[in-house]
Chain A
Amino acid sequence: MKKYKKSLASLGLAFGFAFGFSSMAVAGQFDGVTLKVATWGGSWKANMEKIIVPKFEALGGKIEFVTGSPAANFAKLVAGRGRAPFDVMEVLDAQVGDFAQVDYLQPINLDLIPNKVNLQPFQYNETYVGSWNTQETICYNTEKFAELGLAAPKTYADLAAPALQDKVSLPDINSGAGLANFGGVIYAAGGDEKNIQPGLDLMKKINATKFWTRGGETKTQFESGDIYAAVVHAGWCTRAARAGSPVMTVHPEIKPGVKGLAKEGWLGIMKSSENVEAAHWFINEYLTTDFQYEYAINSGVFPLNQDAIEKMKTDEINAKLMELDPGAISSMLRLDYSKVDKTAWIDGWNKTLTTN
């Protein structure tokens, strides 16, 4: 009788497990599906391969990555007249306006993204689901600043100090962080999306040694001593710190009541995708606490998942170099890209800041 009861209990447990799983995901759910994801290479792709890919493979599917910057992937889309070589794509906030003009994305069924509960309501809509954000900072070498007798910078204008000439690296307008940070400089100099001249004048005064196109370049330049300060997102500064460079971040004063600058990442599903269900599954997985935290630690971005943000506080370097207070984060400057005339910005940049 006792043995019979034990067997019955095991059977019940097995049923329970089976029923429980079927409500979330079913083995074989994505049999034969190959989901193509457009994202960056390096740690970005590696994080997905480590956490999301095994789960998808357990459901019978396969994930392939099309690596490149969002700008490069957007160019691929345009070249293919919207016929995308991928199903899901990382989109930068600065690209949202471009996507609106070309209509290459399909609506997202938010009912299929239960993990959106981890986000704040403004972080998702019917076209995009937020993926991460970055805190654009001034990262500086504390030892070199002390050697030069310079106080910690407070805002971008402090980078124009004569002692820092040729020792500052700024993001190229051509880089993923270019428009956002140029916007930050414009605002800090007293301009806005329509009046960029004060920003150009300040950038010229700073006289950067280099305009970086990949944030990783700044880490190398800190290590080699080529630069003493860089405008770069906090994640690259934490990486430099983890590699042993004596660096610290400053969230620049932009205007009264606004300190710091945020850049946001989004995920979108391509209109041409034939793997819509899998694409939704992928976005949902992107928002789990585990993935968001790992991503933040390894790639230096800031998570949107509230539990992951709490977890960030346990890491000493993150706690020191990143802003973890939700109030401070929400008051950071976010550019209104619908007001940005990208051609005019690039034209002004080219004519003022290249040595041509």
Chain B
Amino acid sequence: MENRWIAYLIPPFIVTLLLVAGSQFVFIQNSFYQDLGLGRTGTDLTLVNYLKFFTDSFYLKTFWITIKVSAIAALLTLFLGFPIAYVVARMKSKLAMFLLAGIVVSTFVTIVIKVFGLIIIFSADGVINKTLLNLGLIERAYSIIGTQEGVVIGLMHFTIGFSVLLLYSVVVTVPPSLEYAAQIHGASRLRVYQRVIIPLCAPGFVVGGLMIFNMCMGAFTSAALLGGGRVLTLPVLVQRTVMMEVKYSTAASIAFVLLVSVILINLFSLIAIRRLRSARLVVA
């Protein structure tokens, strides 16, 4: 019986393998040949593209900025998304469903539109700059374009809806009765958060945080539009290398470094957290 069900998985598996893994294999294979420009490659296997990446300060800095803005965006998105997810999860009225539906719909809006919305809001004559200028908090309109802060805001905007949905599914697994029990025993609201809700949601935070981080690491549009050509992340660099320089092998090596680094960061994070939890259990 089980084997029959597994048989249904074979066609999508083959399609995925061909379309995703197959194309990626060709691309990655290219990265091990010297880049001769204009789509041409050398004939001998070599690590020269990778050596260039790991010895050139420009590539290393771009790599670091990609990790930095992705990590900051993931943390801030979790920080912003959790209270929303918690409130929606604990709502007893039908409004919760409408809010959730609104969040789902907003995630379908194309990222280009979302980013242009941000650009309008943060423009010199936009709401935020006008308000800050009128309040006398700034002397001159501030632009988020071309700054790392702007890229972080763009990445948060890109992932916030997804994070709320993800954290909502975590919060609903925590029975409200546990919170009531803690309160009955004298715990304040803050203490309930610290000792009950957050520890129980912690695995969800970790998985959610990593998923958001992964999305940010691969995000192109927000980084390209808000980076304004001044802040480069690895996905933007891959696009520039392919489009401007037509250097496929170099672009493939950058993409492969990005892919492997994301996998490794995820693995190490999960291992570290598992060890941390084991250590805590031993201490407890």
Contacts and interface: CB of A to CB of B under 8 A. Distances in A.
Given A98-B38, A210-B229, A355-B230, 16 more contacts: A71-B243, A78-B38, A102-B38, A166-B140, A172-B229, A209-B145, A210-B230, A225-B124, A225-B125, A226-B141, A347-B58, A350-B58, A351-B58, A356-B61, A356-B62, A356-B232
A210 B150 CA distance: 12
A314 interface: no
B51 interface: no
Interface in A76-118: 78-79, 81, 98, 101-102
Contacts of B65: 356
A213 B224 CA distance: 10
Nearest to B231: A355
Nearest to A175: B229
A211 B230 contact: yes
B203 interface: no
A209 B143 contact: yes
Nearest to A69: B243
6 closest cross-chain pairs (CB), A and B:
A211-B229, A78-B39, A210-B228, A225-B124, A224-B123, A172-B229
A173 interface: yes
Interface hub of A74, A166, A226 (most chain B Cβ within 10 A): A226
Given A98-B38, A211-B229, A224 B244 contact: no
Interface residues of B, number: 33
Nearest to B60: A356
A23 interface: no
B242 interface: yes
Contacts of A78: 38-39, 246, 248
- Give the interface size class of chain A: 35 or more
A343 B58 CA distance: 14
Interface hub of A101, A343, A350 (most chain B Cβ within 10 A): A350
10 contacts: A75-B243, A79-B39, A172-B229, A174-B244, A210-B230, A224-B126, A342-B245, A354-B229, A355-B147, A355-B148
B124 A166 contact: no
Contacts of B146: 208-211, 355
Interface in A252-291: none
A173 B229 CA distance: 9
Interface in A217-236: 221, 224-226
Contact of A226 (B58, B145, B230, B231): B145
Given A224-B125, A356-B62, A74 B37 contact: no
Interface string B103-138: 000000000000000001001111000000000000
Interface of B: 37-39, 57-58, 61-62, 65, 120, 123-126, 140-141, 143, 145-148, 224, 228-232, 240, 242-246, 248
A72 B38 CA distance: 13
B229 A213 contact: yes
Contacts, number: 88
B228 A209 contact: yes
B141 A225 contact: yes
Contacts of B39: 78-79, 81
A346 interface: yes
A225 B58 CA distance: 32
A224 B118 CA distance: 13
Interface of A: 69, 71-72, 74-75, 78-79, 81, 98, 101-102, 166, 172-174, 208-213, 221, 224-226, 342-343, 346-347, 350-351, 353-356
Contacts of A355: 146-148, 230-231
A84 to B, nearest CB: 13
A188 B248 CA distance: 34
Contacts of B143: 166, 209-210, 226
Interface hub of A78, A166, A224, A347 (most chain B Cβ within 10 A): A224
B28 to A, nearest CB: 16
Contacts of B125: 224-225
B84 to A, nearest CB: 30
Nearest to B247: A343
Nearest to A172: B229
Contact of A354 (B38, B232, B245, B246): B232
A174 B145 contact: no
A72 B246 CA distance: 9
A174 B231 contact: no
A201 to B, nearest CB: 17
Contacts of B141: 225-226
A355 B244 CA distance: 19
Contacts of A209: 143, 145-146, 228
A24 to B, nearest CB: 39
B245 A210 contact: no
A346 B244 contact: yes
Nearest to A353: B230
Contacts of B245: 342-343, 346
Nearest to A170: B229
Contacts of B246: 74-75, 78, 98
Contacts of A343: 37, 245
Contact of B243 (A72, A102, A225, A354): A72
Nearest to A171: B229
